[in-house]
Amino acid sequence: MIGTSRLPRPQPVAGSDNRANEQRPLYVYDNWSAYDELSDAIPLDENLALYELEQVERLQAHGVQFDAYLMDAFWYEPSSGYLQWRKDSWPNGPDRWLNACKIADILPGLWFPANTAFTLEVPETWKDSLAEDGWGFCCFHGGFLSGFMEVLEYWYQRGIRVFKFDFADFGAAPAAIRLKMLPSEIRERNVTAYRNALTQFRLDHPEAWLLAYNGFEETEFMTWTDRPVRRVIDLDWLDIFDTIYCGDPRPTDTPLPNFWRSLDVYAGHQIWFLNQGGLPLRRIDNCAFMLGNTGTCYWRGVESWKETALLSYASGGAVHVAMGNLELLSDDDAIWISKAQDLCEATSAPTWLGGCPGQQQAYGFKAKEFEIWVNPSLMLAQIPIQAVPVAFVNGGIDESTSTLSAGSVIAFADRTDLGRTESTFTLESIQVAWHVRENAAVGEGITDPGRYWIAFQQFDSKGQVVRSSTGSGKACPTLKSILTISANLGSQELEVMYVNDLVIWSGCSWVMATIQVPTKGNLKISLSSSDPNVKKIVPFIWVEKC
């Protein structure tokens, strides 16, 4: 059996926040996005899992902290009730992986659907709990919950110490129950039963780590960044879970010249949103640090990963998750990560800085002798320049005016240098005569040569953003097949270079591109969205200034 966690964990007490006060976070490697069987065709198997464990050990040898390895979705045989591993991918079961984790002193973890039949052939003893739609299990009626807790106990005894719960559906109940109870009563009974069961599990196994993902929110919040603040998580879940996550990486709802920075701003906004709703920063899982060559991370590879990693560590969560193809990180990258982890861990618990990311207000995190800022806007953002040295810059900064250019990130810290990658341009908004009709617009009036950045956002009839998606597979059309930008200089059609022309499974509410105007002339810009839900587009244009 795998040994218990190297981190001493206090006995949980209802209503207390003991776990939140542990200073050292748990560093978790999650292999999701190294494979992807939802929006890609790369399967999870034993060889992939063991290869990524080798990468964990390689990075550890260069100073990166990893405490746990979490096996994500699709590990189990659908007919086994979560008790056996998928035979085609794990012919000998999980023993090699579990033993390798033990030798490496790594805590193994498993992903579980919280109470849903995700790729599951429902066991006979659970069928009386199943809702009519065949998806969710009732937790207070039938055999599901007791059987599920037996599953968790079985894997705990096999050495699993990190449990990730995903796709909860607390509105689930069989038809007979639905006839007798209100939806609100069903949810309350399901939540109470599930919470009581996990409370007992934690009391029996205080060293286990429990992570909450999709479905534990009361109302949907993970799709957009333009909705008003409201509490969406019952804070009583904090008595059960170490952290609650802020959503899979996806773009924010305002354009940025770097698509990958847009994913950072989305994560920042969701952390702000949950924090405003009462969750301490330490109890929020910033799930943004996802690398890989699969559709779930938009085939990101390692584009702009340092900013993502640093912001993830700086947010101060009790659990730091890194996902994906670790082999894409070099040994030098590992040394950089080690320095970033040490910097963020050595400082005090962070506080939120600035305003609302979704409203394009500069934001960041502040701890003792460490501070980091992000400009989520296409306009210049003014921030307070600190007396301590600049530790990291990506983008443009004018220290004489204390301003950050669009999408820039800057960190201040003493005795740490994480590098500077500074841009040489800023964007200046210009006026164009736009002729707009619902889902299309034409702009004219530019006559000077230069490099121009063009974008538009799209909205529905209620004024809320519309996210468009072409699907999730690699063969799907990219975003520009729905959201299009074209430019003509007289009779000459100019090349349009898109910022976010990708297959974006989560959808995107904006498109952005650059055009190079070579000579004087009359520039005509055409914008359109073919999404039928779009009733209004808002265009923007900027000129690049060196």
Amino acid at 66: F
Same domain? For 226 and 303 the reply is yes
Residue 185 forms part of a structural domain: yes
- Which CATH number belongs to the domain containing residue 380 in this structure? 2.60.40
**Average pLDDT of the residues in 13-28:** 61
How confident is the model at residue 22, as a pLDDT?
Answer: 57
Same domain? For 420 and 435 the reply is no
Checking if the pLDDT of 14 tops 50, the result is no
Same domain? For 206 and 291 the reply is yes
Residue 520 forms part of a structural domain: yes
pLDDT digit string, tens, across residues 159-203: 999 999 999 999 999 999 999 999 999 999 999 999 999 999 999
Same domain? For 328 and 368 the reply is no
- Tally the domains of the chain: 3
How confident is the model at residue 282, as a pLDDT?
Answer: 96
Look up tokens 């899979």; give the residue: 248
Residue 205 forms part of a structural domain: yes
Q: Quick check: 263 and 308 in contact, CB under 8 A?
A: yes
| Domain coverage including residue 23 | 18-346
Checking if the pLDDT of 119 tops 80, the result is yes
Same domain? For 486 and 370 the reply is no
Same domain? For 484 and 497 the reply is yes
Calpha distance 355→404 (Å, rounded): 15
Same domain? For 379 and 473 the reply is no
Calpha distance 238→242 (Å, rounded): 7
How confident is the model at residue 224, as a pLDDT?
Answer: 75
**Average pLDDT of the residues in 225-236:** 86
Amino acid at 92: N
Q: Quick one: which of 78, 94, 100 has its CA closest to 158?
A: 94
Residue 62 forms part of a structural domain: yes
In the chain, the percentage of residues whose pLDDT exceeds 90 is: 84
Checking if the pLDDT of 386 tops 70, the result is yes
Checking if the pLDDT of 230 tops 90, the result is no
The last residue of one of the domains, among 327, 346, 365, is 346
Largest Cα–Cα separation, the chain: 75
What distances in angstroms separate CA 110 from CA 41, 333, 409, one per listed residue? 21, 27, 34
Same domain? For 420 and 433 the reply is no
Task: Categorize the per-residue pLDDT at 12 as very low, low, confident or very high, splitting at 50, 70 and 90.
Answer: very low
Burial 479-511 (b: 16+ CB within 10 A, else e): bbebbbbbbebeeeebebebbbbbbbbbbbbbb
Checking if the pLDDT of 346 tops 90, the result is no
Mean pLDDT of the chain: 92
Q: Quick check: 94 and 85 in contact, CB under 8 A?
A: yes
